[in-house]
Amino acid sequence: MEAVFHGKIINGTFIKYDGKLVLIKLKSGYDVALLVKELSSFKIIKKETAKTDKTLDSRYAKEDHPDIALINTGGTISSKIDYKTGGVSPSVPPEYYFKIAPGLKDFGKIEINPLMSVLSENMKPLDWIKIAKAAYSSIKKGAKGVIVTMGTDTMHYAAAALSFLLNPLSVPIVFTGAQRSTDRGSTDASTNLLLSAITASKWEGGESIICMHATTNDDYNFILRGNCARKMHSERRDAFRPINFKPLGKVFLDGRIERVSVPMKRAEETVPNLYIDQKVRLLMSYPGMDGRQIEDAVKEGIHGIVLAGTGFGNIPLGDASIRKALSNADAENVPIAITSQTIYGPTNKFVYSTMRELSMRKNILYLGNMTTETALVKLMFVLGKTKKMEEIRKLMVTPLAGESSERNEIDEFLI
């Protein structure tokens, strides 16, 4: 449509008109709302029939021997604004990525797998199994790297899951997404896709990683160990930060990669370990907490609990109902994994006498500096493999994919 605003001609795509305002999408991707009373004129100059995005290049399809596999699961990076609701919805086919990031074509044969189209808050643990199976299939076909595009809200859960489900790994699996939808001028999707492709094709390690903005600008992206990272802001481009571990590296648009930390070595062959037990509950300790949440979980037949304590992993044992609930969980052979709400820093069962007492129970597992989200995923994975308490304890406190370490360095805080 065309509108004349204070003598200036404004062209764009008509969105809506409510009698007072006319909303137009500019070519830049931004929307502008104009007061009708301040317009000299406005009119529709051309009507277009809505088109479904089609494959942009026939070679971006299923490949027998792909250089990179791109698995699309939905999320903001696959979304456009839905003008019926005013929100974004996953409506963009993965082929569209080559329109917003044409540089992808420089990375050889790319296999596209439109695996699912869901917002990440709706993703379930069994969906992680589907992603792992799809990645493994592409690796078996010869992919030198895998990119998984998804929503950012639970990306760190999925990236942690893949670190256990495919372990060891012979190639990098790179998770990426966007904080701005693809039809916005400020979208970070283009940069994240290109830098993820560079990472997938060049990164020396074999592990599940996250590649997202390191700053609010397009300077470079962090390469983060997937099970040692977390979304730390709801809207900033640089929302993903390393937790209790330095970034693995930095990747730049000119193709450079700067290694910061030692990555997991590539294995000769990727090994699938597709175990998940979804009957795990995540609880938080808080002032005034009693034992009912733990009791309810045990009565429901939950197989494991992750309990995020305060500070070093403290639980309010002054409440008799909590002591009783913990005893019942122990009797029912339900493991309780303790993490810290502080996000940074480890749990420590030796500082306070109450924690020493608690740690004597066979079902209580203090997980050191493992993140709460990774602890949840790992307990699901471990319980999928075994229900024997001694084996659960050994697997949970032993690093399987670099998810925890014996100590924290002073410069790992707030990177």
The burial of 142, by beta-carbon neighbours within 10 Å (0-12 exposed, 13-18 middle, 19 or more buried), is given as middle
Q: How far apart are CA 367 and CA 115, in angstroms?
A: 33
Quick check: helix, strand or coil at residue 256?
coil
Quick check: helix, strand or coil at residue 82?
strand
Q: Of the residues 154, 176, 188, 231, which is catalytic?
A: 231
Q: How far apart are CA 230 and CA 136, in angstroms?
A: 24
Is 314 in contact with 352 (CB distance < 8 Å)?
yes
Q: Of the residues 73, 76, 270, 339, which is catalytic?
A: 76
> b or e along 277-315 (b: 16 or more beta carbons within 10 Å of the residue's beta carbon)?
beebbbbebeeebebebbbebbeeebbbbbbbbbebbbb
Quick check: helix, strand or coil at residue 290?
coil
Q: Is 67 a catalytic residue?
A: no
Q: Of the residues 73, 127, 144, 153, which is catalytic?
A: 153
Distances from the Cα of 162 to the Cα of 118, 120, 132, 218, angstroms: 18, 15, 6, 27
Q: Is 153 a catalytic residue?
A: yes
Q: Of the residues 152, 347, 371, 374, which is catalytic?
A: 152
Q: Is 398 a catalytic residue?
A: no
Distances from the Cα of 247 to the Cα of 133, 217, 222, 250, 308, angstroms: 27, 18, 6, 8, 24
Q: Is 372 a catalytic residue?
A: no
The burial of 408, by beta-carbon neighbours within 10 Å (0-12 exposed, 13-18 middle, 19 or more buried), is given as middle
The catalytic residue positions are: 76, 152-153, 231
